[in-house]
């Protein structure tokens, strides 16, 4: 079974993307960072490789999706509290991103989402697993 996940995302401007995600509280592994790529640490075993479009093309034969126009992937990240959900979305908007969907509150789960500078959709949510309907 896999022990880590690396999500690869194409970005137009790597430096701007690093600044954006730093403002959201993410850090980067310098060991896997150069002028064409960086490894953003999401959690202990979860990473996002932000790759310039030129570098991203080395890994695919298909056209790169314009995430401002098409959905390529939904990235969902859980947080410790509902307040942390709102804080992260606010930080994303303040850093130049945009709100993608309005908040949704199901009682046991709360979520909100933003689009990053390249249009990738990030779903931020809090889930009270003890309150999940049976």
27/25 Cα distance (integer angstroms):
7
Q: Which residue has the higher pLDDT, 40 or 129?
A: 40
Average pLDDT, the chain: 96
> Total domain count for the chain?
2
H-assigned helices in 38-120:
53-56, 82-94
Residues 46 and 11 in one domain: yes
Residues 39 and 13 in one domain: yes
CB-CB contact of 8 with 51 (8 Å): yes
Residue 81: Cβ within 10 Å count: 11
pLDDT tens string 54-73: 999 999 999 999 999 999 89
Residues 97 and 129 in one domain: yes
Residue 65 lies in a domain: no
Please tell me the pTM assigned to this model. Answer: 0.92
Q: Residue 81: give its domain's CATH number.
A: 3.10.180.10
Residues 53 and 78 in one domain: no
Residues 81 and 55 in one domain: no
Query: Quick one: DSSP state of residue 65?
Result: P
pLDDT tens string 2-16: 899 999 999 999 999
Domain that holds residue 38: 1-59
């Amino acid at each position: 079974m896999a022990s880590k996940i690396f999500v690869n995302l194409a970005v137009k401007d790597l430096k701007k993307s690093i600044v954006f995600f730093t403002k959201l509280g993410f850090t980067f592994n310098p060991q896997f960072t150069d002028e064409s790529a960086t490894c953003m640490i999401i959690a202990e075993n979860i990473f996002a490789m932000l790759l310039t479009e030129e570098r991203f093309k080395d890994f695919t034969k298909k056209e790169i999706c314009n995430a401002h126009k098409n959905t390529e992937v939904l990235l969902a990240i859980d947080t410790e509290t509902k307040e942390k959900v709102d804080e992260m979305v606010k930080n994303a908007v303040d850093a130049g991103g945009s709100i993608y969907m309005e908040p949704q509150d199901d009682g046991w789960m709360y979520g909100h989402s933003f689009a990053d500078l390249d249009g990738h959709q990030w779903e931020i949510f809090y889930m009270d697993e003890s309150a999940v309907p049976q």
